[in-house]
Amino acid sequence: MSILKVNHVKKIYTTRFGKQRVNALEDVTFSVEKGEYVAIMGESGSGKTTLLNILAALDKATSGQVLLNGMDLSTIREKEIAAFRRENLGFVFQDFNLLDTFSLQDNIFLPLVLAGVKYDEMQKRLFPIARKLEIGNILSKYPYEVSGGQKQRTAVARALITNPKLILADEPTGALDSRSSDQLLGLFSDINAEGQTILMVTHSTKAASHAGRVLFIKDGQVYHQIYRGNLTNEELYQKISDTLTMIATGGGRYE
């Protein structure tokens, strides 16, 4: 069953005075099955972030449809959208988006607190996640006291703690060194292996090579996609790399 369906989504930005129109997304169609790990690749300006914002219900498509678990995002009322986001989606951002005013633990609790979950329940949920992400001993620290890798793992914990249907990750390794990146990507693979659906936007070949399927976006359209099949990470890396070269040099579509 598809957990996410994107049907002919189009997004046009108009400048403030309506003179100029920019087509950020031309016509995007794809779907994500439950338990999948999908990476979306594309160069800067290809519309990746716009797409992610639409999927996250932070932005609205000009036309087309986004169905999350069979529910059309555009039909959700403005009032309920925050709660919807909280209950169904988990976010991991490039710049972590942790709040300096909260300790790591409170950062992880934030969506639960907003949802009105009891403290004991929050504690119960936190324990296994913190152990898995190896942040159990720094929970009382503040974001400005820990490393980038630790911050990103905290952000992952915050995304996981609500048991979301889908995790949206926007360049999660973008601000991390290679060791922390590897660790984080390993974590994503583990989480995915446990059944968590992940959709990741990245332009790092390395990051994408951990996914089960890679979509390529160019000029606002899904240009190409690769399935992992039985490939190892290294082989997938090679294939992605070839595809990127081909896209960059302007070769035709092949399958």
Residues found near another protein in the complex (CB under 8 A): 56, 58, 78-79, 81-83, 85-87, 89, 91, 93, 97-102, 106, 109-111, 113-116, 119, 122, 142-144, 158
Q: Determine whether 189 is exposed, middle or buried from the number of CB atoms within 10 Å of its CB (0-12, 13-18, 19+).
A: middle
Q: Which is nearer to another protein, 122 or 222 (CB)?
A: 122
How far apart are CB 113 and another protein at their closest, in Å?
A: 5
Nearest approach, Cβ of residue 85 and another protein (Å)? 5
Nearest to residue 218, comparing CAs of 174, 239, 249?
249
The distance of closest approach from Cβ of residue 224 to another protein in the complex, given in angstroms and rounded to an integer, is 30
Alpha-carbon span 22 to 26, nearest angstrom:
10
DSSP secondary structure code for residue 64 in this structure? E
For another protein, which is the closer residue by CB, 143 or 220? 143
First to last CA, the chain: 25
Give the separation between CA 170 and CA 149, rounded to whole angstroms: 15
User: Least distance in Å: CB of 181 to another protein?
Assistant: 22
Least distance from C-beta 156 to another protein, angstroms? 13
| Run of H or E residues at 202 | strand 197-202
> Please, what is the minimum distance in Å from the beta carbon of residue 251 to another protein?
37
Query: Judged by CB, which is closer to another protein: 22, or 99?
Result: 99
Residue placing its CB nearer to another protein in the complex, 20 or 101: 101
Q: Are 188 and 160 in contact (CB under 8 A)?
A: no
| C-beta of 22 vs 58, nearer to another protein | 58
Q: Are 245 and 216 in contact (CB under 8 A)?
A: no
- Rounded-to-integer distance, Cα 189 and Cα 186, Å: 5
Nearer to another protein, 27 or 87 (CB): 87
d(CA 214, CA 32): 11
